Structure 1
């Protein structure tokens, strides 16, 4: 009986290790990289040897078990080879292809050397800095790393990198405690209108200075999703929009967000309002699941979308588009790769000609489906920057999707040209359409009051 239990346990363990090794380069196992892969290699070598020494090969069942324990080593070797090959293919990209595609990708990184290599060849437009880049480090050390990346660009005769981060304040401040963390913008929601706009401006200006001093030029904030009506959502593991939203009142959200964005801009830092089409009515967490927004478009225009329009109409902010299907506009595609949403609504109906950035493509709502299709549709649909943040090594897979589509004639070159023009106008250092000074934030809602919402 004990022998059967031991055999069943070994089979279960073998199947688990087969699954892990076949998926060892997937983003949800990113924490296994490095030492974890070394441990898998040791186990993959040791387990078959121990089974041989234990005489398991003498029976048919034992030989099958031995064979099963040989698979993890083969799978690990294959996945590492595939990753190395993709990386090799990325770095052998022709210069003219790099010039065409590179300006549209922003990536997370763990190795500054790897990021510098991508930057030097013009394969990326920017980098995403997060917790693991700053853990145990000082702002001066981060600044030195970023300066090194920018120097690589300069030597290659390329424009400066866009350097981004998620530094919203409150519960999402990925560069803190290295940089000071400001209170959540929601703390301003109950102030009188003029004061909350001014306070938001000062908070944005202060945070912008600390970001700029560290070399950050693009803050993926503020959150302008309306606060959801529910207090707890069992299906929301990482978005946690209830903690991050400013208010459930679109006027309050718009006033605070616009003041904050103008404060960032006054310090030379670009902002991105997120997460269009708004997550306040969305129950599913797009980090893991597909999600739909089922509300009518006219209702969204009068509520959830008002803060987006208020900020975009009155600043140089970019807009981050999430992986939520907007049923009222396009039932087949998530907003981040829906031409009807990107080109039809945001650029067409709203007349917005600034920068659109996708939410992280390494999220279950996209990565777990047809990633290549989403990459091509995003670029063709009007997105300017595709973000590969949580697991930056997936950039090689994403970039391969774009390269293959280009080679097959499936990329809209005119759409890429228009995007290049938008990016050149918008990059930090260029003047945005709105002057970023304190006097500009006294009546942040006035533009929408005069224009109305279409």
Structure 2
């Protein structure tokens, strides 16, 4: 029995720091599963551990080690309290932001959400430009309920005298079909690559039309598709749990990717839904999964222009598609800095060399390649580089932190006003602002 007790004490010493870490970092995106019921369990387990230690008289019988163990198990409760208080204070500060500043910065944010009431407050105050809906917004609900919710958000925008929200989804087909069911689960566009050229275009346009009609029926007006990354030659990276680009890329042939994507976009736009091509500068050549890690693209620019970037240039020059920039660093242009907030890539290459004056948005800024580093720097550099929309998808609560980054930069005059004016012009041209 004595051995069992000692093992129990050792386990408490081991588990304690883990619980403390979870409590202190409760607002971190990696701890999203702990929120709600998970937090209740964390608090209950910590409180139970403290009560057990007190009942067994660890406070006096075990000396300093016993007291330290009790303090250790009090820290998760303190960590959760501080984390929650920090979030509440930040939320209050953002919601009370000066209206002009709120709308100036808010027109650059698209956020994912779980709480209608919370996102409605952001929408009617002009703190966001749009929302991102995905499978958790449909969990336990019907398509009609989601449609009504989107309509209610748009109603609040109209009542506030603000432009309609961008309502975005990620419905590529294949493994990325976040709203299917209830929407139709179509095959990936890669399934069309071996058809004849005419069949490719006809089927791709049909897929786009189906996606567009179904998304539009819910009130969704922007789709994060198609993916223009070239299919990688290398074997799948075993540490790639999320990107899975080998299953999503249309082809390894740039011309084929461009033709199929253009036809798909034509079908999507025919239903009144805008397309977003992604994930520039391309994920086909990189091994790291930017959901968790930094990634570098070390290929020379001339080679990229002839291969990986050709579909992007072809599609952007012949459609009205938006461009999503991912978190891969282009070593030849801006080594070490993710393209999503690189001025050399966005302003130098895309805007000036390619002369693309459409909407540029980031991939999700809650990904590890950005969030686990200096996310405030990324937000400010992205806006100063000419990015129009900042995506905060996986964990919408991070919006408050990212907006605070932009707001603080504005107060310090660290935002490039010329870039912001140019972005507002593009947003107005795209009818995203009045």
Query: TM-score scaled to structure 1, two decimals?
Result: 0.93
Compute the displacement of 1:316 (Å).
0.5
2:263 pairs with 1:278: no
Distance 1:203 1:19 in 2: 46
User: Which of 36-45 and 277-286 deviates more?
Assistant: 36-45
Distance 1:54 1:344 in 2: 67
2:89 pairs with 1:85: yes
Equivalent of 1:26, from 7, 25, 28? Answer: 28
Equivalent of 2:262, from 247, 250, 258? Answer: 258
* Aligned equivalent of 1:340: 344
Indicate conservation of the 8 Å contact 2:163/2:432, yes or no: no
Compute the displacement of 1:14 (Å).
1.0
Deviations 1:118-138 (A, max 9, x none): 000000000000110012222
Local SS of the residue matching 2:397: helix
Indicate conservation of the 8 Å contact 2:164/2:432, yes or no: no
User: Which of 2-11 and 380-389 deviates more?
Assistant: 2-11
Distance 1:254 1:428 in 2: 27
Distance 1:285 1:223 in 2: 16
Local SS of the residue matching 2:278: strand
Indicate conservation of the 8 Å contact 2:163/2:433, yes or no: no
Indicate conservation of the 8 Å contact 2:107/2:433, yes or no: no
* Aligned equivalent of 1:37: 39
Compute the displacement of 1:230 (Å).
2.0
Distance 2:268 2:231 in 1: 23
* Aligned equivalent of 2:7: 5
* Aligned equivalent of 2:407: 403
Compute the displacement of 1:429 (Å).
12
Indicate conservation of the 8 Å contact 2:204/2:264, yes or no: yes
Equivalent of 1:248, from 209, 230, 252? Answer: 252
Distance 1:248 1:139 in 2: 36
Matches within 5 A, 1:15-414: 15-58=17-60, 59-60=62-63, 61-414=65-418
Indicate conservation of the 8 Å contact 2:376/2:402, yes or no: yes
Compute the displacement of 1:426 (Å).
1.6
Distance 1:253 1:223 in 2: 9
* Aligned equivalent of 1:447: none
Distance 2:433 2:94 in 1: 29
CA RMSD of aligned residues (A): 1.3
Compute the displacement of 1:7 (Å).
1.3
- Structure 2 gap segments, 5+ residues each: none
Local SS of the residue matching 1:392: coil
- Structure 1 gap segments, 5+ residues each: 431-454
Compute the displacement of 1:195 (Å).
2.5
Distance 2:165 2:218 in 1: 14
Deviations 1:58-80 (A, max 9, x none): 22211111111111111110001
* Aligned equivalent of 1:451: none
Local SS of the residue matching 1:390: coil
Distance 2:428 2:215 in 1: 22
Indicate conservation of the 8 Å contact 2:107/2:126, yes or no: yes
